[in-house]
A and B are shown apart, each in its own frame.
Chain A
Amino acid sequence: MDFVAAIGRIFLAFLSHVGRLSAFAGTALSHIVRPPFYPRLTLRAMVEIGYYSLPVVGLTAVFTGMVLALQSYSGFSRFAAESAVATVVVLSITRELAPVLAGLMVAGRIGASMAAEIGTMRVTEQIDALTTLSTNPFKYLVAPRLLAGLLMVPCLVLVADIIGVFGGYIVGVYKLGFNPSSYLARTWEFLEPIDVISGLTKAAVFGFIISLMGCYHGYYSRGGAQGVGAATTNSVVSAAIMILIFNYVITALYFGK
């Protein structure tokens, strides 16, 4: 009986979390579209997410592209399909690896810092102070970050696409001895708009998830430094898990059949 009760409790706790998160997301979305807007804060969040994440995302992309070229070359040589390397690199990067890896890296960088910042504001009563100064915390804190995540992660992924392909090109040409112009021709040959577009769709969803989890866990953190620490961890873990789940869902929607 105790066991069943425990499972029931966990399930109920899970449902109440889902409910609270949905309500949070709904409220935040409604504040994105209704004035007053905070363009300054949105811009600042966009710079924080887009610009300052460039090095880490770029580094991830270039090494992923390089590894991908090496791996597929050695794997495909078993059935004499080395010529497919360029195509494999560009398809894997644009469809999968750039959005997922960039999403995970940004979740670690941005989700954590959002949760820590908003969480600290919560436990030091700064969020309460906002409301007493007639400023809605959803509008002032959450909406700019959600919007910035939604817009900037696709930009990052577009850059990661280019850098990742470039990484593959470097290895392909300088290490594996492909002819530069035929490697590039191969890269373009089978690439279709949907490959890039599906990747950017993922990026937008991931960006939204990252900001949402950062803000949500920060907003509901309690109890001081320890609570803020827990909020930071939870925001990164839950964003990462949701990114992996939504990655599958979006892939299935685009390429399911």
Chain B
Amino acid sequence: MTAPAKIVLSDVHKSFGKKVVLDGADLSVAKGESVVIIGGSGTGKSVLLKSILGILRPEKGSITVDGEEVIGMRSKARDRMMLKFGMLFQGSALFDSLKVWQNVAFGLIQGRGMDRDQAHAIAIEKLAQVGLAESAGELFPAELSGGMQKRVALARAIATSPEIIFFDEPTTGLDPIMADVINDLIVECTKELGATTLSITHDMASARKIADRIAMLYKGRLIWVGAAKDIDHSGNEYVDQFIHGRAEGPIKMELRA
């Protein structure tokens, strides 16, 4: 990697009570790079993103963004740092008391103090990029389908053109064609706007398309990190089992009767 590291996680530990979720996670994301995290359901992918954002506080380890330590950061410094970030939550997390366009424009109006007319125009433009008409902007989130909500949340995440964007399962719940439109949009964010992105997906087609590098999370650690083109000959049996979706292999699903 020639570009300087934008986000560095080292030896991050996070547990909930007795349940250990992250157990020494190490990852480094370079500026302008697109990294995709894969891993089984419930392995802690969302927890990893939330730890970087400071929503969850790891017990141990270090996370730096542009060289600045984020664990234990003061709220004012955090508010400032958040200006660099855009985040698509897995459950969309749209503000249900605000109209769709106000959701998309929220970071522009509240975070950056832009005036409403200008922010409205940008919001409409971002909605168009995710395939939503201007009329949808006047609706409330509860009036949209799940997939539409996801796209609104995506538009909100990219509205401020942040330097770093996190996508938590951006294409889950979308039809294959729309999923590909969203993949293209994410690629555009990195390639054309130069954003650093960290995405989570279960959709291997999507991962291959948007990732420069892929990292696999298993048992609280990133057990394999490599270039996206090497994913098919990673030489790692866990990765092989995962990308081919086989029930047999070293990863045992913990099924309880």
| Interface residue ranges, A against B (CB under 8 Å) | 117, 120-121, 124-126, 128-136, 140
Contact = CB atoms under 8 A, between A and B. Distances in A.
Given A117-B97, A131-B82, A133-B110, 4 more contacts: A126-B95, A129-B94, A130-B95, A131-B53
Given A128-B89, A128-B93, A129-B93, A135 B53 contact: no
Interface in B104-148: 106-107, 110-112
A237 B97 CA distance: 26
- Count chain A CB atoms within 10 A of each CB in B55, B85, B93, B107 and give the residue with the most: B93
A133 B93 contact: no
B58 interface: no
A186 B96 CA distance: 53
B82 A133 contact: yes
A116 to B, nearest CB: 12
A129 B89 contact: yes
Nearest to B54: A131
A30 to B, nearest CB: 10
Interface of B: 50, 53-55, 75, 78-80, 82-83, 85-87, 89, 91, 93-97, 106-107, 110-112, 156
Nearest to B81: A134
B54 A140 contact: no
A132 B96 contact: no
Contacts of B53: 128, 131-132
Contacts of B112: 134
Contacts of A125: 89, 91, 93
Contacts of B78: 131
B5 to A, nearest CB: 21
A129 B87 contact: yes
Contact of B82 (A120, A121, A134): A134
Nearest to A31: B75
B83 A128 contact: no
B240 to A, nearest CB: 34
A136 B78 CA distance: 10
A252 B12 CA distance: 54
Nearest to B166: A132
A135 B106 contact: yes
